């Protein structure tokens, strides 16, 4: 069982009696200053699946081996849900941001809020599925370092973007790795 070192100032994800759920971890990190913006930029520019991005970090930090095989496996399972459910909800939500000429702004904004809630609910379903799948990944020998975490997150971004991470993308990845690592 992997435990975070007490002298790092990090909250442990895994203890003798408890593992922080992936959903709780994701929400806690996502709420930190600058994290949502960095994730949304990577979602837009590199086309990443943000829940899977967090799952990769979480798996690594909880002592699971997250390599290209694990990434491909999770992509095979999660991509249909992302494409068929999450992305269409996101498209509707973003289209409603501009309103509609025949419907009042108040009405479209209320509907947009409902769609946003459904989109988040769909991502929660995916995260709950990935929580179960992470337990099937093999354990690593040693705790994950921040450099290993950054490498894993870079692998995820490069898989989705299909190009090597440039300097601005690498900077966002490093920032997010630091936020995840210091949960």
**Full-model pTM:** 0.90
What DSSP string describes 24-58? Answer: HHHHHHHTSTTHHHHHHHHHHHT---HHHHHHHHH
Annotated domain spans of the chain: 6-181
Q: At what angle do helices 146-161 and 167-181 cross, to 10 degrees?
A: 130
Question: What does the pLDDT profile of the chain (183 residues) look like in tens digits?
Answer: 344 444 455 677 877 778 899 999 999 999 999 999 999 999 999 999 999 999 999 999 999 999 999 999 999 999 999 999 999 999 999 999 888 888 998 999 999 999 999 999 999 999 999 999 999 999 998 889 999 999 999 999 999 999 999 999 999 999 999 999 998
**How many angstroms separate the CA atoms of 43 and 57, rounded?**
16
């Amino acid at each position: 069982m992997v435990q975070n070192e007490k002298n790092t100032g990090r909250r442990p994800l895994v203890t003798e009696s408890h593992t922080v759920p992936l959903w709780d971890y994701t929400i806690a990190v996502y709420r930190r200053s600058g994290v949502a913006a960095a994730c949304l930029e990577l979602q837009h520019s590199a086309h990443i699946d943000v829940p899977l991005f967090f799952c990769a970090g979480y798996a690594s930090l909880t002592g699971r081996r997250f390599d290209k095989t694990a990434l491909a496996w999770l992509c095979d399972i999660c991509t249909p849900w992302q494409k068929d459910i999450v992305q269409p909800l996101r498209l509707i939500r973003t289209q409603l941001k501009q309103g509609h000429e025949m419907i009042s702004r108040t009405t479209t904004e209320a509907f947009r809020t409902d769609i946003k809630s459904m989109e988040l609910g769909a991502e929660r379903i995916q995260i709950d599925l990935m929580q179960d799948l992470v337990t099937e990944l093999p354990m690593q020998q040693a705790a994950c370092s921040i450099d290993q975490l950054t490498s894993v997150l870079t692998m995820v971004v490069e898989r989705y973007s299909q190009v090597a991470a440039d300097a601005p993308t690498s900077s966002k990845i490093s920032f997010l790795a630091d936020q995840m690592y210091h949960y």
